[in-house]
Structure 1
């Protein structure tokens, strides 16, 4: 990952935490029912997740009490707008944006000397079966402070009112209590330390529960897509919910998404795009064997490209250039079918969200498409960084260089 880090493409927006902030973070962990970290310094993302603590605990989702009970921690206003590197849901970053948009001023004030624990409650204690995910509707985001500073504020305000009552202003005991509270906690009278719960509507989304589930319910018919085969097998036995159920590998899924005007593919237009060139080069890379030159040079230098295209067998060549072959023959006759000449994975990869979809829905569908056919390295990086990082480690070092350059040139 060193090359990615050097190019600022690997978790480059993490926030360093140490000293008092690390102490407050630990208090948040304890308040949420988790064991504190032994680390004195670590980094966090926008939701308060730390890669170092995840490694220490050997649990990527250490801020969760099961799939149905995720949490977040805010210890600094610098978390505003930061990425969520290991989201439980596709809407996690949107929830944090909602929190900071609503309570930016209060968060700035509270985190001067305190920290905030967040609970995302969808009124589900735990998932029992895969289609329980359909219960996701409105999520309540509730807040609590470490050290019960909001309750201490209430006690301080009650002392002030008691001081004002009658002749209590001469009562030395009340004087002492007020001074002790002020010395220990500061003057809390004019601070906003109580954050009312927020509501967040979960419409179509992706969840990591049950090995990964897409819920598409803003379209003609609700569609649920599973990444895990066992969860899919369990779900198709359901006779209660009126939804269409697919495994992500089923070819019928692409057809249904097209029929419902969720995705579209015009090969004549797509073949002229930079995205097509990236996908074609990735397909070419997968076919290369025993190369004498760096992969990066083979993909970028036309002379090398032509040379190595002539070293792969006919079937491999069809997989790489099948779209162009199909379109060329289509000009002569309309008897040719896409699936006769175009590799099925490449065809799936060349689909895109329908232009009628909102930006939020387009992002979700892009994520689904890059998981169906992860052939575009740039879009894989944009829409599923976790999968990108896992795949990246297995690539040829020279191909890694090409990928880094492609991504860097498009940011």
Structure 2
């Protein structure tokens, strides 16, 4: 994974923590949440405050996420809102944290100027020991405060001020006045500058979870279903009308169609559909050529066409289906019959612009895993796991391609692929300093999933 880290394609845009005062605040918050501390004097953190270096030090990639279902967080700065979320166990977690920070930016800016803010995404499930338990997660709330309890004290002080203003004998209550003065020294003037964080609640109807081999849950659609990436064996009964796995291709296709979640790339507006399909074909050639031991360093599209001709007999059915579709679009060829059982089928689709388009594109990326660009943009957890198993030739090509073709214009690439829709990828990463690579190692602390 060194190659990805060096190119800013992994651990990108993390926040570096090296000031002694920030390290000390982080340790206070970490001890407050988990009873542990770090001995490191410099590390990097994601949007939740998780540090891969500390995870490696503690030998616990879930030190801020007990059992993978109770995401805690440590905020040292509002700049964390632009950082990625590592080891994601739920697709909704980063969006929730980002929205919390943005909605409370002014308050959090003031609070983190003096202390760390520690908190938790609260739900009623503490242990996801069976797949069915994941369906009990419906509403999520955020609880947060500084390690010294500034928000709670400000609320208490506000109540005292109300008593002082409304109770007839409050002017003579020396104890109340002394308590107000003592608290005000810690909280500041809560009348002019109220220290309150918005009470926020989030629904979790449609989501992906990394538990049990990966599961996509769609409850907020007309025809609800769960789609299991890891297979249905041993899953047991789930409280949802339909359950599919990746072998149920026709059923998944019908589910996506009935709920109006996808559209054919070839018919999508605002994109160069032929260019997208040709690029997918190139990725399929890369996969074959890499298996054959071809050196793909600096390979151009012309080189890939040559390799495609050279290994024409070895090209998969996915390539042949996409080629037939391109011939229809560009050369007035016959309409190819690509059914849901055809290996190329899910490569020909994209999500329709709607609230859950990022989740649908995430599912499509896992159903069409040889499209390495979409897999990286939409489903980084699966991308990183797949990358670890690739031959070196493919690793080198993919890293160079993503750095050259994606890193330079992420927003433009996403718009070209998916149209004008909400950003589904992590924000633009900046390559971390070298010590992150040496401390964490090529995969190290992030093998545990969130």
Note if contact 1:43-1:51 (Cα within 8 Å) is conserved in structure 2.
yes
Note if contact 2:265-2:273 (Cα within 8 Å) is conserved in structure 1.
no
| 2:245 corresponds to which of 244, 247, 261 | 247
Note if contact 1:268-1:327 (Cα within 8 Å) is conserved in structure 2.
no
Distance across 2 between alignment mates of 1:219 and 1:290 = 41
Distance across 1 between alignment mates of 2:173 and 2:62 = 56
Aligned to 2:90: 89
Note if contact 2:365-2:374 (Cα within 8 Å) is conserved in structure 1.
yes
Deviations 1:45-76 (A, max 9, x none): 22212121122223322211213322111121
Aligned to 2:360: 365
How far 1:166 moved relative to its partner? 4.2
How far 1:280 moved relative to its partner? 0.6
| 2:201 corresponds to which of 199, 202, 216 | 199
Distance across 2 between alignment mates of 1:130 and 1:101 = 32
Gaps of 5+ in 1: none
1:62/1:253 Cα in 2 relative to 1: closer, same or farther (>3 Å)?
farther
How far 1:271 moved relative to its partner? 8.8
Aligned to 2:227: 225
Aligned to 1:384: 379
Aligned to 1:13: 13
How far 1:6 moved relative to its partner? 4.6
How far 1:363 moved relative to its partner? 0.6
Distance across 1 between alignment mates of 2:173 and 2:245 = 75
Taking structure 2 as the reference length, the TM-score comes to 0.74
1:24/1:248 Cα in 2 relative to 1: closer, same or farther (>3 Å)?
farther
How far 1:43 moved relative to its partner? 1.1
Distance across 2 between alignment mates of 1:217 and 1:247 = 16
1:102/1:322 Cα in 2 relative to 1: closer, same or farther (>3 Å)?
closer
Aligned to 1:263: 262
Aligned to 1:352: 350
Deviations 1:346-365 (A, max 9, x none): 33222211x3x51x311110
Note if contact 1:295-1:398 (Cα within 8 Å) is conserved in structure 2.
yes
**Partner SS, residue 73 of structure 2:** strand
Note if contact 2:372-2:398 (Cα within 8 Å) is conserved in structure 1.
no
Between 1:323-332 and 1:95-104, the stretch displaced more is 323-332
Aligned to 2:54: 53
Aligned Cα RMSD in Å? 3.7
Distance across 2 between alignment mates of 1:68 and 1:317 = 39
Distance across 1 between alignment mates of 2:137 and 2:154 = 35
The alignment status of 1:320 with 2:319, answered yes or no, reads yes
How far 1:289 moved relative to its partner? 5.9
Aligned to 1:65: 66
How far 1:368 moved relative to its partner? 0.8
**Partner SS, residue 97 of structure 2:** helix
Note if contact 2:321-2:338 (Cα within 8 Å) is conserved in structure 1.
no
Q: Which one has the largest radius of gyration? A: 1
Aligned to 1:108: 109
Taking structure 1 as the reference length, the TM-score comes to 0.81
Note if contact 1:392-1:400 (Cα within 8 Å) is conserved in structure 2.
no
Distance across 2 between alignment mates of 1:257 and 1:155 = 51
Distance across 2 between alignment mates of 1:220 and 1:351 = 20
Distance across 1 between alignment mates of 2:334 and 2:397 = 41
Distance across 1 between alignment mates of 2:180 and 2:407 = 58
Between 1:147-156 and 1:109-118, the stretch displaced more is 147-156
The alignment status of 1:142 with 2:143, answered yes or no, reads yes
Gaps of 5+ in 2: 165-169, 411-450
> Aligned residues, how many?
392
1:63/1:289 Cα in 2 relative to 1: closer, same or farther (>3 Å)?
closer
**Partner SS, residue 206 of structure 1:** strand
Note if contact 1:14-1:45 (Cα within 8 Å) is conserved in structure 2.
yes
**Partner SS, residue 281 of structure 1:** helix
1:166/1:44 Cα in 2 relative to 1: closer, same or farther (>3 Å)?
same
Aligned to 2:216: 214
How far 1:314 moved relative to its partner? 2.2
Distance across 2 between alignment mates of 1:214 and 1:290 = 31
1:108/1:305 Cα in 2 relative to 1: closer, same or farther (>3 Å)?
closer
